[in-house]
Amino acid sequence: MYIGNFYRLVSFPSELINEIESTCHVVVFPGMLSAEIRNRRAGPSKASMTRVHSIVSDATYKLRRLPVRAKCFLISAAVLSFYLYGCLFLSLSKNHLTEESYLQTEKCPACFGHSICMDLKDGLIKMKGWSRLRFLDFVNLKNVHIGHHEGLEKTVVLKKLAHNREWENIDDKICTDANRPLGCDVARVLDKMKVTNAIQREGLQPSHLKDLSYMFACPTYNLIDRIYRYYKEKVYPERREMMFRDKLQIYATAWVNPEPLILQTFPKSEGWPFPEYFGACGRFIVVSNEGEPLNNFYNAPFHKRADLAYQIMKIAERLTNHGNPYGLYWTDLSYENLVVDEAGRVSVIDVENVVVVDRLAIQKVKPGGYDDLLESKFDDCGGKNCLVFSTEDLCSHKESDHNYFAACRNLLSKYANEGDLGMPDGLLHDMPNYARDDFDLEYLLNECVHPTVAEGRMKAKEKIINALDMLRNVQDSKDIAKGDRI
């Protein structure tokens, strides 16, 4: 066993070095010793030398009296410490985003794409904070990292959109379906799967995507055409037509996590309340950093929470709006799905579980009751947050009140119970009397969760939005004019 850098950093007396060599069977080369020991010369006073000699002698004596195992343990601990410091230094100094093996670009087209690979390989995007420490990846189960894009001068978020084990399972399924041994080259055999053979023969059909994820609970040709139109990850971006490889990549993305397709197909630039999609490289996507989690504002002043609640209801309205050919419905909604930026704007950052409904297709097919409002049903769920819904019902109605129900049920009302996280009674907890009495807000939220009359949720949501719009500008009951009631 050889110990080098450790002795260069710490100066030990020769007696101590001899003791270490004889006890732990290690060889200490002269080059490992400090310059002070190798080139001792007369200089310090006799008294100083005596004091130093006394200290060294005491240390040597104490070390000699330690058991052999204790001596070896101390030395091993020192070596391990320097090894860990070395790993830390390498993690902080190396940009892993330039490595194809880290990005897993060799897996494509079983990946999300390649449109931002050049920026990553050129070192324009670097991880920040704890994300720079690769050895902490084992606790970052969601594979979400914060970075900085030097070219755009923006903070960005890098997402792998699946646990490492989930990706391994996907690879295993590809190999198995293609009749190849586990551990096969998925990039070469993806087109050997039964469904991908069909895609090559027929083109990408709704039947190929059906039920791969919530986004494709009820896929249509209109939705596929829209995906093609907005898709940024084409092999040849300058060409209008989609290559077979592009279709394979869309299929793989829909299978693993459709979030990149949602962000591209319903872009922030057109007013959708999602992060901006900058691109993909291998099994990572890069999106804009839209702020801090909503739960950080749980104890904010009431007028601030009223403003956030107002925005949440307007997002529900935007996703539901019957004026748009598509309805997007939340099936999973919690504090961690929403973030707030420095300007106080709310965005939806987790869209993996969004159902996309093609209203034009529904109107064309005209299933039974398609023109009736679909009203979501309340379930107490044992006092916990939950959403009860039917994708079949959502996919067969032009309009539903589901998003308003989700916002009131899981975020805003007293039924929004995140007690395990120390956040009971919803975002609008501890409601001041003027909000409860003058605006009837508590009653309206209850109506939004489980209405007492037909279409009561749609009636209540309009009043809730109006009330929150006024309450977000009220910091004290004195600010309320006597006539400002609903």
Taking only the tens place, the pLDDT of each residue in 52-107 is 566 666 666 666 666 777 767 777 777 777 655 555 555 555 788 999 999 999 99
Q: Write the CB contacts of 42 (distance below 8 Å, at least 6 apart in sequence).
A: none
pTM for this prediction? 0.80
Q: List pLDDT tens digits, range 442-463.
A: 999 999 999 999 999 999 999 9
Gap between the Cα atoms of 52 and 54, Å rounded: 5
* 125-134, 265-274, 335-344: least confidently modelled range: 125-134
Q: List pLDDT tens digits, range 190-227.
A: 999 999 999 999 999 999 999 999 999 999 999 999 99
More confident residue, 483 or 463: 463
Angle at 138 between CA 136 and CA 139, to 5 degrees: 75
Gap between the Cα atoms of 63 and 59, Å rounded: 6
pLDDT of 3 reads 41
Q: 149 forms bridges with which residues in the sheet?
A: 125, 154
Among 328, 333, 305, 135, residue whose Cα is nearest residue 216? 328
Kindly give the residue spans of alpha helices, DSSP state H, lying in 408-455. Answer: 433-437, 441-449
Mean pLDDT of 402-414: 97
Phi, psi values for residue 179, rounded to 5°? 60, 45
Question: Whose structure tokens read 């209850």?
Answer: 446
Gap between the Cα atoms of 349 and 159, Å rounded: 11
Residues 441/428, Cβ–Cβ less than 8 Å: yes
pLDDT of 238 reads 87
Question: Whose structure tokens read 């309205």?
Answer: 317
Look up residue 366 and give its two tokens. 């005209």
Mean pLDDT of 159-180: 95
Q: Write the CB contacts of 342 (distance below 8 Å, at least 6 apart in sequence).
A: 291
pLDDT of 20 reads 46
Among 395, 377, 397, residue whose Cα is nearest residue 386? 377
Output DSSP code: residue 216: G
